[in-house]
Amino acid sequence: MRDLSADAKLMSLNTATLGPKRSLEDAVEGCLRHGIGGISPWRDKIAEAGLPQAVKMIRRAGLTVTGVCRGGMFPAADADGRRLALEDNRKAIDEAAALESRCLVLVVGGLAPGSKDLGDARRQVEDGIAASLDYARSVGVSLAIEPLHPMYAADRACVNTLGQALDICDRLGTGIGVAVDVYHVWWDPELAPQIARAGRDGRLFAYHLCDWMVPTTDLLLDRGMMGDGAIDLPAIRRDMEAAGYDGFCEVEIFSAGRWWPKSIDEILGTMVARGKSCI
């Protein structure tokens, strides 16, 4: 396993970790101050800055873009909705290309509005990814399906295990892989073999970190800092690296009550310290 204790060059800051009120510029400057080597911007932050300015800012800072969050959200109630989703994904692919991102993260979407048909949602997701993939390949953007925790199956993502995501990848071919976020997959009894499978197939495009708090008080906004929760983070990174993953460790913490209220430097200082000791 790589020794990450010396510096934060292989850590990446997902902009969600700073909360919704901080700008892309805040995030970039924070990375520079704390020696963090990568960044993963959410698209609202890219839009706020403007894409050309975002590209310029990140390039000048010498940061690797480890992901753009996010494409996906494919299931829709009708053909118009599906067309809009595809257009938005094409735009997201363009942004990822402009930023030379290692991948575009796909949060695939949950049930279509008014529907309880999870099978239909899953078919729409696979169709949507298939329809986006040729374009992504043509501009050199890798698509990374992020299986989301089953508690988001209804409203955010109906791809809920790594195995399920990899089955989709198998059917779709090249240019598609997975973003492994410990928060979503740590509980899975099939986690280790599915990580190994993803590595064998060259599909490990991103690795996201935070922690699972006990108790968790909110389904969305109560993620923990690495080391504060229940997840055996070194065990998962060991599996990832044994499977060939040699990319960044991206930190994505949605924490309305605990971390977002803190100063940027306190968040990033803690993130870097934990990255050196707890993951």
Interaction residues for a copy of itself, span 57-116 (CB under 8 A): 111, 116
Crossing angle of helices 264-277 and 24-34, rounded to 10°: 50
Shortest Å distance, C-beta 31 to a copy of itself: 29
Shortest Å distance, C-beta 19 to a copy of itself: 20
Q: Which is nearer to a copy of itself, 58 or 159 (CB)?
A: 159
258 binds a copy of itself (CB under 8 A): no
Using alpha carbons, select from 170, 180, 235 the residue that is nearest to residue 207.
180
Q: Which is nearer to a copy of itself, 184 or 203 (CB)?
A: 184
Q: For the chain, how long is the longest CA-to-CA vector? A: 52
Q: Which is nearer to a copy of itself, 63 or 191 (CB)?
A: 191
CA distance 199 to 194: 9
Q: Kindly report the length of the chain.
A: 279
Backbone angles phi, psi at 208, to 5 degrees: -110, 140
242 binds a copy of itself (CB under 8 A): no
Pick the binder of a copy of itself from 81, 150, 175, 199 (CB under 8 A): 150
Q: Strand 204-209 and strand 249-251: pairing?
A: parallel
Nearest-5° Cα angle at 9, 18 to 205:
80
Shortest Å distance, C-beta 213 to a copy of itself: 9
Structure tokens at 232: 């055996």
CA distance 255 to 249: 18
CA distance 186 to 243: 16
Interaction residues for a copy of itself, span 154-173 (CB under 8 A): 154-155, 158, 160-161, 164
Pick the binder of a copy of itself from 149, 203, 208, 223 (CB under 8 A): 149
Interaction residues for a copy of itself, span 177-216 (CB under 8 A): 186-189, 212, 214-216
Binding site for a copy of itself (CB under 8 A): 111, 116-118, 122, 149-151, 153-155, 158, 160-161, 164, 186-189, 212, 214-217, 219, 229-232
